[in-house]
Amino acid sequence: MRKIRSTAVPIPIENIDTDQIIPARFLKATSREGFGKNLFRDWRYEEDDEARPRIGFPLNDPACKGSILVAGKNFGCGSSREHAAWAIKDYGFQAVVSSFFADIFRNNALNNFLLPVQVSDAFLKHIFSTLEKNPAAELSIDLDAQTLTMAAEGRSEPFDINPYKKTCLINGYDDIDYLLSILPEISAFESKRPIFLQ
Amino acid sequence: MGKTIFEKIWESHVVSTIEGGPSVLYIDRHFIHEVTSPQAFNGLRQRGRPVRRPSQVVATADHNVPTLGQHLPIREELSRRQVEMLVSNSQEFGIDLYGLGHPYQGIVHVIGPELGVTRPGMTIVCGDSHTSTHGAFGSIAFGIGTSEVEMVLATQCLLQTRPRLMRIRVEGSLANGVLAKDVILHIIAVLGAGGATGYFVEYAGSAIRGLSMEGRMTVCNMSIEMGARGGLIAPDETTFAYMKGRPFAPSGEAWDISLAYWQNLSTDPDAHFDQELLIDAASIEPMVTYGTNPGMGTGVTRSIPSLSEIPETEKNHFSKALQYMGLQAGQPLKGQAVDYVFIGSCTNSRIEDLRLVAAFVKGKRKADNVEVWVVPGSKQVEKAAREEGIDAIFEQAGFQLRQPGCSACLGMNEDKIPAGKYCLSTSNRNFEGRQGPNARTLLASPLTAALAAVTGRIDDARDYL
Ligand code: SF4
């Protein structure tokens, strides 16, 4: 996932909450797979009917495809349900671009090797308008250089990522691997816990 | 420079810090429920790991349980499977489970405090964003995702970056009929749905100190609705009085030692916050939301803003929300008819909420066209309500008193609001489809809800007290 170059699916709506990404009634599964088919379920279909895709919703628009989702500000607000990140990933996205991410969503995305790319409001607006004119425009994300570039015109913006998380993404480590590697240190800390915290 | 409560608790829980990266934070209490835990247990099995400290984990079934006929097998297959998995996972990994039928069962954020599992000075997590509720006791409590649930199960630690700190002071006294729920809805309306993202909030000021523990939990509960990582309130005599004698609260010498520590847990006068907000308690009205995020709310005597009052960048969102809600810009809120009233959820389903509703509706009857569901937060709350005769008051009023669970707060079980119907709800989220596909949610306090149940419309509770 060091470099992603792809067309993108734009959803220019702000405050997209986790209930829209994956409605609660689909949280009954006990595995991590299969959530992609219900991604944005209630925006995607008329009256919950898979035979009637809602016209105009980007996931139903054959012109919009690719492994990058571009969404409005404050993406992923609401619940801690990691199912939201699973659904996006399971659908086939590798990165989400927005001008702001909710905290828990950002963590959940990173823990699932889904890259949250935060850009300025102005750049996000530019991406939306470019994609509106030309849905085939490609975006290119370079994790090493931490840049997002509109491939055709070369306009680019850097993005932030925690250096520890970056190493994890590049090497395929996760937090549990790290925490398990320091268990002796955790035990030493634990042995000194005061009674009022036990 | 002095320190905030948050800093004091945080620093005493940091095991180590990765250079340029997050800290390893030790977790004292971990709550789990059926929806966000199965994948974490699968992960443990795949790695061949045990639960490291089962005695620090408490499990309950809440999100997906029916609220009628809980003694019967759950009809819906997937829901049943999830609840059964919680039972088998708890057994396999040695975790205490307060599942269906257990006298301690209930919504995870209701049972933790009422059982005395939640305590000041602790770090507390749960795979649920409203874990912020436990901050009412002066703890660092926040919601986590399922991968993080697995981390805590496996190591009792999490990797976390320290959030920025915000203090919100509410000074003065609240008008009669203005409740904790109105305070937090007001704050969220001021800050907006993303206004506290990246922050951890400390609520302070005389109006906050004047709240009961139940009220404080209501305030902290909704911290996440403005994007905050969590919210907390300094523990004080109200906190200690609430905790004393709870089933898992410390007792004897342990109580004395704990109390001495808790009494010192406060923010130093010269501590630094990255942002401060001051709110005049007297300016807060009973609040009602009209839109599809909890920040879209206003005082009950006001009107929905007109389009011209909305900033350019938010106009689309605003119009889309009103279209979903079937409401008009500029329309007064008072008088809006409702079809359902839901009194429940981890925001407002504690015994104090039920008492307040009962006191208001005693001797009255619900409006004919309104369906009223009261869903207690826990078996303990349900039991107390029955012992106090609250069930009889509800029955006479035509309210349905159901069994504990999350219920219509998120509509995962059968308790869904039908498409297009208006539900005045004491829960915390009015997102599109939250209470069922195309359901329309108006958030308000239990008092405003009780009044709407009786009149069939939104009204100002202050006029009836
Ligand atoms: S009552 Fe609602 S908000 Fe609270 S834990 Fe349950 S689903 Fe979440």
ipTM: 0.92
Spell out which residues of chain B touch residue A185, defining contact as CB-CB under 8 Å: 15-16, 24
| A/B interface, count of CB pairs below 8 Å | 191
Q: Which atom of ligand 1 is nearest to the CA of B349?
A: 1
Q: Which pTM was predicted?
A: 0.95
Spell out which residues of chain A touch residue B256, defining contact as CB-CB under 8 Å: none
Spell out which residues of chain B touch residue A190, defining contact as CB-CB under 8 Å: 26, 156
Task: Tell me if A185 and B15 make a contact (CB, 8 A cut-off).
Answer: yes
Report the residue from A30, A186, A195 with minimal CB separation from B39: A30
If you measure from the C-alpha of residue B314 to the centroid of ligand 1, how many angstroms do you get, rounded to a whole number?
Answer: 28
Report the residue from B127, B155, B431 with minimal CB separation from A17: B431
Spell out which residues of chain A touch residue B154, defining contact as CB-CB under 8 Å: 176, 179-180
Secondary structure class of A4 (helix, strand, coil) = strand
Q: What angle, 0 to 180 degrees and rounded to 10, lies between the N-to-C axes of helices B351-361 and B446-455?
A: 30
Query: How many angstroms separate the CA of residue A103 from the nearest CA in chain B?
Result: 6
Query: How many angstroms separate the CA of residue A144 from the nearest CA in chain B?
Result: 17
Cβ atoms of B48 and B21 within 8 Å: the answer is no
Task: Tell me if B193 and A15 make a contact (CB, 8 A cut-off).
Answer: yes
- State how far the Cα of A83 lies from the Cα of B330, in Å rounded to an integer: 37
Q: Where are the domains of chain B?
A: 5-161, 293-463
Task: Tell me if A103 and B15 make a contact (CB, 8 A cut-off).
Answer: no
> What is the number of alpha carbons within 13 Å of residue B199 lying toward its C-beta?
25
User: Cα–Cα distances in Å, from A20 out to A39, A97, B33, B273, B432?
Assistant: 8, 17, 22, 34, 7
pLDDT for position B20: 83
**pLDDT digit string (tens) for A57-91?**
999 999 999 999 999 999 999 888 999 999 999 99
A187 touches chain B (CB under 8 A): no
Task: Tell me if B434 and A19 make a contact (CB, 8 A cut-off).
Answer: yes
Report the residue from A14, A102, A189 with minimal CB separation from B26: A189
Spell out which residues of chain A touch residue B318, defining contact as CB-CB under 8 Å: none
pLDDT for position A36: 96
Spell out which residues of chain B touch residue A29, defining contact as CB-CB under 8 Å: 78
A171 touches chain B (CB under 8 A): no
What residues of chain B score a pLDDT lower than 70?
none
**Token representation of residue B315:** 């106009």
A contact test, residue of B159, B161, B409 with most A CBs within 10 A: B159
Report the residue from A82, A163, A195 with minimal CB separation from B20: A163
Task: Tell me if B437 and A42 make a contact (CB, 8 A cut-off).
Answer: yes
Spell out which residues of chain B touch residue A175, defining contact as CB-CB under 8 Å: 147-148, 151, 158-159
Q: Which residue of A has its CA nearest to B295?
A: A15
Pocket of ligand 1 (CB under 6 A): B 62-63, 107, 109, 128, 130, 345-346, 406, 409-410, 427-428
Q: What angle, 0 to 180 degrees and rounded to 10, lies between the N-to-C axes of helices B146-155 and B38-47?
A: 50
Task: Tell me if A20 and B121 make a contact (CB, 8 A cut-off).
Answer: no
- Report the CATH superfamily, name and number, of domain B293-463: Aconitase, domain 3 (3.30.499.10)
Q: CB neighbours of B15 closer than 8 A, spacing ≥ 6?
A: A182, A185, A186, A189, B23, B24, B25, B26, B157
Going by DSSP bridges, is the β-strand pair A147-150/A156-158 parallel, antiparallel, or unpaired?
antiparallel
Report the residue from A78, A174, A193 with minimal CB separation from B129: A78
B contact test, residue of A45, A75, A79 with most B CBs within 10 A: A79
Under CATH, which architecture does the B5-161 domain have? 2-Layer Sandwich (3.30)
- DSSP string for residues in B165-216: EEEEEEES-PPTT--HHHHHHHHHHHH-TTTTTTEEEEEESHHHHTS-HHHH
Query: How many angstroms separate the CA of residue A78 from the nearest CA in chain B?
Result: 7
**Token representation of residue B455:** 């009149």
Cβ atoms of B445 and B360 within 8 Å: the answer is no
Spell out which residues of chain B touch residue A23, defining contact as CB-CB under 8 Å: 433, 437
A50 touches chain B (CB under 8 A): no
Report the residue from A25, A42, A102 with minimal CB separation from B197: A102
Cβ atoms of A168 and B159 within 8 Å: the answer is no
Residue located nearest, by CA, to atom 2 of ligand 1: B409
Query: How many angstroms separate the CA of residue B380 from the nearest CA in chain A?
Result: 24
If you measure from the C-alpha of residue B91 to the centroid of ligand 1, how many angstroms do you get, rounded to a whole number?
Answer: 24
- State how far the Cα of B425 lies from the Cα of B370, in Å rounded to an integer: 13
Q: Which atom of ligand 1 is nearest to the CA of B377?
A: 1
**Token representation of residue B404:** 């504990």
A63 touches chain B (CB under 8 A): no
- State how far the Cα of B193 lies from the Cα of B189, in Å rounded to an integer: 8
Q: E strands of B11-156, at which residues? A: 14-17, 23-26, 29-32, 57-60, 96-98, 123-126, 140-143
What residues of chain A score a pLDDT lower than 70?
none
Task: Tell me if A80 and B143 make a contact (CB, 8 A cut-off).
Answer: yes
**Token representation of residue B325:** 């809600």
